[in-house]
Protein backbone atom coordinates (compact mmCIF):
# COMPACT_ATOMS: atom_id res chain seq x y z
CA UNK A 1 0.00 0.00 0.00
CA UNK A 2 1.33 3.44 -0.97
CA UNK A 3 2.56 5.57 1.90
CA UNK A 4 0.30 8.50 1.05
CA UNK A 5 -2.74 6.34 1.74
CA UNK A 6 -1.99 6.89 5.41
CA UNK A 7 -3.20 10.45 4.84
CA UNK A 8 -6.47 9.24 3.31
CA UNK A 9 -9.77 8.48 5.05
CA UNK A 10 -11.26 5.02 4.35
CA UNK A 11 -13.69 6.34 1.72
CA UNK A 12 -10.79 7.75 -0.32
CA UNK A 13 -8.58 4.68 0.16
CA UNK A 14 -11.36 2.47 -1.23
CA UNK A 15 -11.60 4.71 -4.30
CA UNK A 16 -7.83 4.65 -4.86
CA UNK A 17 -7.71 0.89 -4.40
CA UNK A 18 -10.46 0.51 -7.02
CA UNK A 19 -8.42 2.41 -9.59
CA UNK A 20 -5.19 0.62 -8.75
CA UNK A 21 -6.45 -2.95 -8.33
CA UNK A 22 -9.56 -3.17 -10.51
CA UNK A 23 -8.84 -0.66 -13.28
CA UNK A 24 -5.06 -1.30 -13.20
CA UNK A 25 -4.24 2.39 -13.37
CA UNK A 26 -0.61 3.37 -12.91
CA UNK A 27 0.79 4.53 -9.59
CA UNK A 28 1.19 8.01 -11.09
CA UNK A 29 -2.49 8.18 -12.06
CA UNK A 30 -3.63 6.99 -8.63
CA UNK A 31 -1.30 9.50 -6.99
CA UNK A 32 -2.87 12.31 -9.04
CA UNK A 33 -6.35 11.23 -7.94
CA UNK A 34 -5.20 11.37 -4.33
CA UNK A 35 -3.63 14.81 -4.64
CA UNK A 36 -6.63 16.25 -6.47
CA UNK A 37 -9.19 14.92 -4.02
CA UNK A 38 -7.09 15.84 -1.00
CA UNK A 39 -7.05 19.46 -2.21
CA UNK A 40 -10.81 19.30 -2.83
CA UNK A 41 -11.55 17.98 0.66
CA UNK A 42 -9.23 20.52 2.25
CA UNK A 43 -11.08 23.31 0.49
CA UNK A 44 -14.45 21.97 1.63
CA UNK A 45 -13.30 21.70 5.23
CA UNK A 46 -11.96 25.24 5.06
CA UNK A 47 -15.33 26.50 3.83
CA UNK A 48 -17.26 24.65 6.53
CA UNK A 49 -14.94 25.60 9.38
CA UNK A 50 -13.65 29.22 9.19
CA UNK A 51 -11.30 28.54 12.11
CA UNK A 52 -9.15 26.48 9.73
CA UNK A 53 -8.19 29.72 8.02
CA UNK A 54 -5.45 29.96 10.65
CA UNK A 55 -4.04 26.61 9.52
CA UNK A 56 -1.75 26.39 6.44
CA UNK A 57 -3.78 24.89 3.60
CA UNK A 58 -1.29 22.04 3.12
CA UNK A 59 -1.69 21.02 6.77
CA UNK A 60 -5.48 20.65 6.85
CA UNK A 61 -6.23 17.00 7.70
CA UNK A 62 -8.85 15.11 5.71
CA UNK A 63 -8.84 11.93 7.81
CA UNK A 64 -12.32 12.68 9.14
CA UNK A 65 -13.92 12.93 5.68
CA UNK A 66 -16.60 10.25 5.40
CA UNK A 67 -19.66 9.29 3.34
CA UNK A 68 -21.90 11.73 5.20
CA UNK A 69 -19.46 14.55 4.44
CA UNK A 70 -19.13 13.87 0.68
CA UNK A 71 -22.83 13.05 0.16
CA UNK A 72 -23.85 16.55 1.23
CA UNK A 73 -21.61 18.35 -1.26
CA UNK A 74 -23.46 20.59 -3.70
CA UNK A 75 -22.52 21.40 -7.29
CA UNK A 76 -22.02 25.03 -6.29
CA UNK A 77 -19.31 23.95 -3.85
CA UNK A 78 -17.46 22.12 -6.62
CA UNK A 79 -17.55 25.24 -8.76
CA UNK A 80 -16.37 27.18 -5.72
CA UNK A 81 -13.35 24.89 -5.52
CA UNK A 82 -12.54 25.44 -9.20
CA UNK A 83 -12.80 29.20 -8.67
CA UNK A 84 -10.53 28.85 -5.64
CA UNK A 85 -7.96 27.13 -7.86
CA UNK A 86 -8.17 29.93 -10.40
CA UNK A 87 -6.65 32.41 -7.99
CA UNK A 88 -6.97 31.25 -4.41
CA UNK A 89 -4.40 32.82 -2.12
CA UNK A 90 -3.80 29.56 -0.30
CA UNK A 91 -3.91 27.09 -3.18
CA UNK A 92 -2.13 29.28 -5.69
CA UNK A 93 -3.33 29.98 -9.23
CA UNK A 94 -3.75 26.78 -11.24
CA UNK A 95 -3.59 26.38 -15.02
CA UNK A 96 -6.82 25.49 -16.82
CA UNK A 97 -5.45 22.03 -17.59
CA UNK A 98 -4.82 21.44 -13.88
CA UNK A 99 -8.33 22.58 -12.97
CA UNK A 100 -9.75 20.31 -15.68
CA UNK A 101 -7.84 17.34 -14.26
CA UNK A 102 -9.13 18.03 -10.75
CA UNK A 103 -12.62 18.34 -12.19
CA UNK A 104 -12.22 14.90 -13.79
CA UNK A 105 -10.94 13.43 -10.50
CA UNK A 106 -13.96 14.71 -8.59
CA UNK A 107 -16.32 13.38 -11.26
CA UNK A 108 -14.61 9.98 -11.17
CA UNK A 109 -14.86 9.87 -7.37
CA UNK A 110 -18.61 10.45 -7.36
CA UNK A 111 -19.17 8.06 -10.24
CA UNK A 112 -17.39 5.41 -8.19
CA UNK A 113 -19.59 6.08 -5.14
CA UNK A 114 -22.83 6.09 -7.15
CA UNK A 115 -22.28 3.49 -9.85
CA UNK A 116 -19.66 1.05 -8.58
CA UNK A 117 -19.82 1.20 -4.79
CA UNK A 118 -23.56 1.93 -4.63
CA UNK A 119 -23.04 4.15 -1.61
CA UNK A 120 -24.79 7.23 -3.04
CA UNK A 121 -27.83 7.80 -5.23
CA UNK A 122 -27.39 11.42 -6.30
CA UNK A 123 -24.26 12.42 -8.19
CA UNK A 124 -23.56 16.16 -7.82
CA UNK A 125 -21.20 16.11 -10.82
CA UNK A 126 -23.81 15.12 -13.43
CA UNK A 127 -24.26 18.75 -14.50
CA UNK A 128 -20.62 19.71 -13.90
CA UNK A 129 -19.00 21.52 -16.83
CA UNK A 130 -15.26 21.25 -17.39
CA UNK A 131 -13.20 24.45 -17.23
CA UNK A 132 -12.61 25.93 -20.66
CA UNK A 133 -9.11 25.02 -21.72
CA UNK A 134 -6.83 26.99 -23.99
CA UNK A 135 -6.05 24.74 -26.92
CA UNK A 136 -2.35 24.36 -27.58
CA UNK A 137 -0.66 22.20 -30.17
CA UNK A 138 2.01 19.77 -29.00
CA UNK A 139 5.58 20.91 -29.61
CA UNK A 140 7.61 18.71 -31.91
CA UNK A 141 10.84 18.57 -33.90
CA UNK A 142 10.97 19.00 -37.63
CA UNK A 143 12.50 16.25 -39.76
CA UNK A 144 15.70 18.28 -40.06
CA UNK A 145 15.87 18.82 -36.30
CA UNK A 146 15.20 15.12 -35.68
CA UNK A 147 18.14 14.17 -37.89
CA UNK A 148 20.24 16.82 -36.16
CA UNK A 149 19.36 15.28 -32.78
CA UNK A 150 20.33 11.77 -33.86
CA UNK A 151 23.59 12.94 -35.38
CA UNK A 152 24.55 14.75 -32.16
CA UNK A 153 24.65 11.60 -30.01
CA UNK A 154 28.11 10.86 -28.64
CA UNK A 155 29.84 9.72 -25.48
CA UNK A 156 30.55 6.45 -23.65
CA UNK A 157 26.95 5.23 -24.04
CA UNK A 158 26.55 6.33 -27.64
CA UNK A 159 24.94 3.10 -28.95
CA UNK A 160 22.45 2.96 -26.07
CA UNK A 161 21.49 6.62 -26.24
CA UNK A 162 21.20 6.55 -30.02
CA UNK A 163 18.94 3.48 -29.77
CA UNK A 164 16.72 5.22 -27.20
CA UNK A 165 16.29 8.32 -29.36
CA UNK A 166 15.66 6.20 -32.44
CA UNK A 167 12.83 4.31 -30.72
CA UNK A 168 11.27 7.53 -29.43
CA UNK A 169 11.37 9.19 -32.85
CA UNK A 170 10.24 6.16 -34.86
CA UNK A 171 7.77 4.42 -32.55
CA UNK A 172 6.38 7.26 -30.44
CA UNK A 173 6.88 5.40 -27.16
CA UNK A 174 6.06 6.89 -23.79
CA UNK A 175 9.09 7.16 -21.51
CA UNK A 176 7.53 4.68 -19.08
CA UNK A 177 7.01 2.22 -21.91
CA UNK A 178 10.62 2.52 -23.01
CA UNK A 179 12.18 1.94 -19.59
CA UNK A 180 9.85 -1.04 -19.13
CA UNK A 181 11.13 -2.83 -22.23
CA UNK A 182 12.81 -6.20 -21.73
CA UNK A 183 15.20 -7.94 -24.11
CA UNK A 184 12.66 -10.69 -24.78
CA UNK A 185 10.12 -8.08 -25.90
CA UNK A 186 12.12 -7.77 -29.12
CA UNK A 187 10.95 -10.53 -31.46
CA UNK A 188 12.33 -10.44 -34.99
CA UNK A 189 10.92 -7.18 -36.40
CA UNK A 190 8.42 -6.42 -33.62
CA UNK A 191 8.47 -5.13 -30.05
CA UNK A 192 5.90 -5.83 -27.33
CA UNK A 193 5.02 -2.65 -25.46
CA UNK A 194 3.23 -2.49 -22.12
CA UNK A 195 1.23 0.73 -22.11
CA UNK A 196 -1.15 2.53 -19.79
CA UNK A 197 -3.43 0.31 -17.75
CA UNK A 198 -1.11 -2.65 -18.48
CA UNK A 199 -2.48 -2.82 -22.02
CA UNK A 200 -0.16 -4.56 -24.44
CA UNK A 201 0.39 -3.58 -28.04
CA UNK A 202 2.77 -4.86 -30.68
CA UNK A 203 4.73 -2.44 -32.82
CA UNK A 204 6.70 -3.21 -35.93
CA UNK A 205 10.32 -2.08 -35.96
CA UNK A 206 11.62 -0.39 -39.08
CA UNK A 207 15.14 -0.75 -40.43
CA UNK A 208 16.49 2.17 -38.39
CA UNK A 209 15.17 0.70 -35.14
CA UNK A 210 16.45 -2.79 -35.88
CA UNK A 211 19.93 -1.51 -36.75
CA UNK A 212 20.07 0.64 -33.61
CA UNK A 213 18.92 -2.22 -31.37
CA UNK A 214 21.39 -4.67 -32.90
CA UNK A 215 24.28 -2.23 -32.46
CA UNK A 216 23.32 -1.57 -28.84
CA UNK A 217 22.89 -5.23 -27.91
CA UNK A 218 26.48 -5.89 -28.97
CA UNK A 219 27.73 -3.55 -26.22
CA UNK A 220 24.88 -3.84 -23.69
CA UNK A 221 26.33 -4.53 -20.23
CA UNK A 222 25.14 -7.58 -18.34
CA UNK A 223 22.62 -6.27 -15.79
CA UNK A 224 22.36 -7.28 -12.15
CA UNK A 225 20.83 -10.69 -11.55
CA UNK A 226 17.79 -9.26 -9.82
CA UNK A 227 14.18 -9.65 -10.94
CA UNK A 228 13.69 -5.95 -11.70
CA UNK A 229 16.92 -5.53 -13.67
CA UNK A 230 18.09 -8.77 -15.24
CA UNK A 231 15.87 -8.65 -18.34
CA UNK A 232 15.98 -4.87 -18.89
CA UNK A 233 16.70 -3.80 -22.44
CA UNK A 234 18.20 -0.48 -21.43
CA UNK A 235 20.78 -0.70 -18.65
CA UNK A 236 22.59 2.00 -16.69
CA UNK A 237 26.32 2.13 -15.87
CA UNK A 238 25.36 0.63 -12.49
CA UNK A 239 23.94 -2.36 -14.36
CA UNK A 240 20.36 -1.56 -13.34
CA UNK A 241 17.28 -0.82 -15.42
CA UNK A 242 17.25 2.79 -16.57
CA UNK A 243 14.77 5.00 -14.72
CA UNK A 244 12.48 7.53 -16.37
CA UNK A 245 14.58 10.30 -14.85
CA UNK A 246 17.75 8.84 -16.36
CA UNK A 247 16.13 8.70 -19.80
CA UNK A 248 14.95 12.30 -19.44
CA UNK A 249 18.57 13.27 -18.71
CA UNK A 250 19.78 11.36 -21.76
CA UNK A 251 17.31 13.22 -23.97
CA UNK A 252 18.22 16.57 -22.42
CA UNK A 253 21.92 15.93 -23.02
CA UNK A 254 21.35 15.02 -26.66
CA UNK A 255 19.10 18.05 -27.18
CA UNK A 256 21.79 20.36 -25.77
CA UNK A 257 24.49 18.75 -27.91
CA UNK A 258 22.30 19.27 -30.97
CA UNK A 259 21.83 22.94 -30.14
CA UNK A 260 18.04 22.57 -29.95
CA UNK A 261 15.50 24.01 -27.52
CA UNK A 262 16.45 22.55 -24.09
CA UNK A 263 12.76 22.22 -23.20
CA UNK A 264 12.36 19.20 -25.47
CA UNK A 265 11.51 16.08 -23.43
CA UNK A 266 10.87 12.40 -24.22
CA UNK A 267 7.17 13.21 -24.51
CA UNK A 268 7.89 15.85 -27.15
CA UNK A 269 9.83 13.22 -29.09
CA UNK A 270 6.66 11.13 -28.96
CA UNK A 271 4.80 14.11 -30.43
CA UNK A 272 7.49 14.34 -33.09
CA UNK A 273 7.06 10.69 -34.11
CA UNK A 274 3.29 11.10 -34.31
CA UNK A 275 3.53 14.26 -36.39
CA UNK A 276 6.09 12.81 -38.80
CA UNK A 277 3.95 9.70 -39.32
CA UNK A 278 0.73 11.65 -39.87
CA UNK A 279 2.38 14.10 -42.26
CA UNK A 280 3.74 11.21 -44.31
CA UNK A 281 0.50 9.37 -44.99
CA UNK A 282 -0.32 7.38 -41.85
CA UNK A 283 -4.08 7.49 -41.21
CA UNK A 284 -5.38 8.69 -37.86
CA UNK A 285 -6.76 5.32 -36.67
CA UNK A 286 -3.50 3.53 -37.39
CA UNK A 287 -1.68 6.29 -35.52
CA UNK A 288 -4.06 5.75 -32.60
CA UNK A 289 -3.00 2.09 -32.44
CA UNK A 290 0.70 2.92 -32.74
CA UNK A 291 0.56 5.45 -29.90
CA UNK A 292 -1.65 3.27 -27.71
CA UNK A 293 -4.36 5.90 -27.28
CA UNK A 294 -7.57 4.54 -25.81
CA UNK A 295 -9.68 7.28 -27.39
CA UNK A 296 -9.43 8.55 -30.95
CA UNK A 297 -10.02 12.07 -29.68
CA UNK A 298 -6.61 12.02 -27.99
CA UNK A 299 -4.96 11.26 -31.31
CA UNK A 300 -6.92 13.82 -33.29
CA UNK A 301 -4.91 16.73 -31.91
CA UNK A 302 -2.25 15.77 -34.44
CA UNK A 303 -4.68 16.51 -37.27
CA UNK A 304 -4.57 20.13 -36.11
CA UNK A 305 -0.79 20.04 -36.50
CA UNK A 306 -1.21 18.68 -40.01
CA UNK A 307 -3.70 21.45 -40.82
CA UNK A 308 -1.26 24.03 -39.47
CA UNK A 309 1.52 22.62 -41.63
CA UNK A 310 -0.69 22.75 -44.72
CA UNK A 311 -1.52 26.39 -43.99
CA UNK A 312 2.17 27.19 -43.63
CA UNK A 313 2.86 25.45 -46.93
CA UNK A 314 0.27 27.56 -48.75
CA UNK A 315 1.49 30.74 -47.05
CA UNK A 316 5.06 29.93 -48.10
CA UNK A 317 4.10 29.98 -51.78
CA UNK A 318 5.91 32.92 -53.42
CA UNK A 319 2.57 33.95 -54.98
CA UNK A 320 0.89 34.13 -51.55
CA UNK A 321 0.96 37.93 -51.37
CA UNK A 322 0.32 38.74 -55.04
CA UNK A 323 -2.94 40.63 -55.56
CA UNK A 324 -4.74 41.59 -58.73
CA UNK A 325 -3.96 45.11 -59.79
CA UNK A 326 -6.82 47.50 -60.31
CA UNK A 327 -7.74 47.99 -63.95
Beta-bridge partners for 187: 190
Strands of 200-204's sheet in order across: 186-187, 190-194, 200-204
- 3-state SS class at 187: strand
Within 10 angstroms of residue 64's Cβ, the number of other Cβ atoms is 9
Q: What are phi and psi of 193, to 5 degrees?
A: -115, 130
Q: How far apart are CA 276 and CA 298, in angstroms?
A: 17
- Single out the residue of 322, 323, 272, 267 nearest to residue 302, CA to CA: 272
**What confidence score (pLDDT) does residue 40 get?**
95
Answer yes or no: are the C-beta atoms of 107 and 125 closer than 8 Å: yes
Active-site residue set: 174, 196, 267, 270, 293, 302
- Single out the residue of 43, 238, 268, 273 nearest to residue 136, CA to CA: 268
User: Measured on CA atoms in the order 236, 175, 284, 310, is the torsion positive or negative?
Assistant: negative
Q: How many residues does the chain have?
A: 327
Answer yes or no: are the C-beta atoms of 168 and 181 closer than 8 Å: no
Specify the pairing of strand 186-187 against strand 200-204: unpaired
Q: How far apart are CA 14 and CA 65, in angstroms?
A: 13
Answer yes or no: are the C-beta atoms of 206 and 170 closer than 8 Å: yes
- Single out the residue of 261, 305, 248 nearest to residue 282, CA to CA: 305
- Single out the residue of 155, 144, 303, 319 nearest to residue 237, CA to CA: 155
DSSP-assigned letters across all residues of 75-96: HHHHHHHHHHHHH-TTT----H
One digit per residue, the tens of pLDDT, for the chain of length 327 reads: 455 667 889 999 999 999 988 888 877 888 899 999 999 999 999 999 989 989 999 999 999 999 999 999 999 999 999 888 876 444 445 566 788 889 999 999 999 999 999 999 999 999 888 776 555 666 788 899 999 999 999 989 999 999 999 999 999 899 999 999 999 999 999 999 998 878 899 999 999 999 999 999 999 999 988 888 999 999 999 999 999 999 999 999 999 999 998 878 888 898 888 888 888 888 788 888 888 887 776 777 766 666 565 555 556 555 556 555 665
Q: How far apart are CA 37 and CA 12, in angstroms?
A: 8
Amino acid sequence: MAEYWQESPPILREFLNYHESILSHSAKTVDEYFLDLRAFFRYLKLQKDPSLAQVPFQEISILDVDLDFVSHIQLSEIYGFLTFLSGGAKAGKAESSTRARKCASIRSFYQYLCIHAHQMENDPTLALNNPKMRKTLPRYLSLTESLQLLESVSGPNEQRDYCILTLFLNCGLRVGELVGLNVQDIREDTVRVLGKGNKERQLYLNEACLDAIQAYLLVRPEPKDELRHRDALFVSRNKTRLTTRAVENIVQKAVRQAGLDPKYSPHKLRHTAATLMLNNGVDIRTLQDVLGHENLGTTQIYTHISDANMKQAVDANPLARIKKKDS
